[in-house]
Structure 1
């Protein structure tokens, strides 16, 4: 029987009493982790609600579904916008977008109580359109911090656009970077991308991008680098490696002031990572994960069909046929 799947959204709040704790959620948009009716939560974003709705680009949701922004986080530090430090902060698929990662993490720390929790859901570059990109380096992070980036840099934007795996022809390039040459479709897009980023530079237009690229292992590497620089004021309470068939991993951080506990927590977190969490993942390993996910789905469908067939109600004959059809299609690979 397949193991029940636990979502990363559940994992980063499972040890918080959201009914009584005060929290912030960054970038909730139309799908908040904690709803207003569930707890004391304030929604933080880079722009007011009306601006977010104008630029909303999710085909499966309406702009009207975006939650109301309580705090607009711009030039001023986040801590100046809250009356007092909060118990927890949540951010799902946000950390990769911030231009200055070190500054962002430290601003969040200033808005947290001592011992407060920061819950992050982070895309794993091996299973997203960032698969071709190298994981972020400590030098990139230090540069962004010392230069005080408030918008994605030209390098960050160019790399994100140039190396994206959005087109089918590019999907065959191995995620571990081993290749006989650069795919033609990348070379073809470079000239137009160069003209585009030059215009961005000249106009100083804000362009969103994935500024940072992680795997679970590289996330811990970066935290260790930053801890050595005394620029990472968190213990790693728990890291949840990327599940088979998923594209992201989850991390729970605890706001602290000392550095020794931070180092110890990173080493403890490393022991929770399995061998497949190494930075390089071959196409064969990726295919193996996809097969595992396929098997889990097939087992779940078979169980549902068995439960349906055990019933004598005429009303369930249509769902039975639909489930059998879906099982047959998944087994044979037919659309």
Structure 2
């Protein structure tokens, strides 16, 4: 996917997308995680800083899994640094806290959305952020599906789902069709001739296989538009399951199929609620096929451009009074004795090491064990 113009230094389409999605992120001076990069990492090792590539299995198994996939070159799959499977993400990255997590076209695949987002939150520093790139249902093979709703998200959370649930498999396989983003934008998708990905017999078979045998079938478990995503995350935050605020948002571009969102933990419920409300209000929701959709979309763009309360992001990497006061989870290898040895002032004060780390040490970036040099 290289559209470079010889001699003019014009960035490829992929590089333009990458620069847009990583805008404002200080990669060179940061430690970050990218989940599921395969052949196309947003953050490259050559960018400087430290990037930890995380996937559900190691590189040899990924190459075997995708060896017959015509859409990627298995020899270009990145070297995976950490495997996140039955363990937690915090365990996978050896208890480290990072400045950012990025994931492109991953969130829609995870069987348990709430637990997955909580695990991303668990590895963030107080100033850390999550950047997600999310497919917009209206311009993908999910064209005929409805947006995911709170009850089904909660049902998967209660089940602590490790594989896509039968209802998700059926919803995806019974409705998925071959769609190009351009055709969707031009309202040229007709349900009578759109080619289905699966027959109903195949869809039922996959769902039964998952239910009876626990087989993992890779599908889009969740379906979003920018507005439905904002409202769903706002509901989860209002319930106390998450504490992410929307720090920035980029709507789906014309003839494109994805939107992006920057999330950062916050201790202020009002700030969290207002941030998602602003995203929902600024998202252009006029869908192709609806009467006068082009005129409506133009009005939405004008209204979003003159809003009274635009999203004002916290500066990445800089502390704010809105930052969380405690980590989501303690480091998996936290040892109270080692923490006191590494921080003699805490030991001298007679403070409980666990309480001190949760309330102060995490925010101060204190070491949890003595350094080898010491």
| Residues 98-129 of structure 1: per-residue CA shift (max 9 Å, x gap) | 00001100000001111211001000000000
Aligned length: 277
Bigger RCO (CA 8 Å, 6+ sep): 1
Check 1:184–1:79 CA distance in 2 against 1; reply closer, same or farther (3 A cut): closer
- 5+ long unaligned stretches in structure 1: 289-335
Instruction: State yes or no: 1:215 paired with 2:222.
Output: no
Instruction: State yes or no: 1:121 paired with 2:106.
Output: no
CA distance in structure 1 between the aligned counterparts of 2:213 and 2:69, rounded to whole angstroms: 27
Check 1:184–1:68 CA distance in 2 against 1; reply closer, same or farther (3 A cut): closer
- 2:214 maps to which of 204, 207, 212: 204
TM-score (norm 2): 0.67
Shift of 1:204: 1.7
* Counterpart for residue 111 of structure 2: 99
Shift of 1:91: 0.2
- 1:257 maps to which of 267, 289, 294: 267
Instruction: State yes or no: 1:78 paired with 2:85.
Output: no
Check 1:148–1:286 CA distance in 2 against 1; reply closer, same or farther (3 A cut): same
CA distance in structure 2 between the aligned counterparts of 1:268 and 1:116, rounded to whole angstroms: 21
SS at match of 1:254: strand
Q: How does 1:45-64 map to 2 (within 5 A)?
A: 45-56=55-66, 58-64=69-75
- 5+ long unaligned stretches in structure 2: 1-10, 296-374
CA distance in structure 1 between the aligned counterparts of 2:197 and 2:21, rounded to whole angstroms: 40
* Counterpart for residue 23 of structure 2: 14
Check 1:283–1:38 CA distance in 2 against 1; reply closer, same or farther (3 A cut): same
* Counterpart for residue 80 of structure 2: 69
Runs of 4+ in 1 over 6 A off after TM superposition: 181-188, 283-288
CA distance in structure 2 between the aligned counterparts of 1:244 and 1:184, rounded to whole angstroms: 21
* Counterpart for residue 289 of structure 2: 282
Shift of 1:13: 1.8
* Counterpart for residue 195 of structure 1: 205
Say which structure is richer in helix. Answer: 1
Contact 2:163 2:217 in 1 (8 A): yes
TM-score (norm 1): 0.74
Contact 1:89 1:119 in 2 (8 A): yes
* Counterpart for residue 331 of structure 2: none
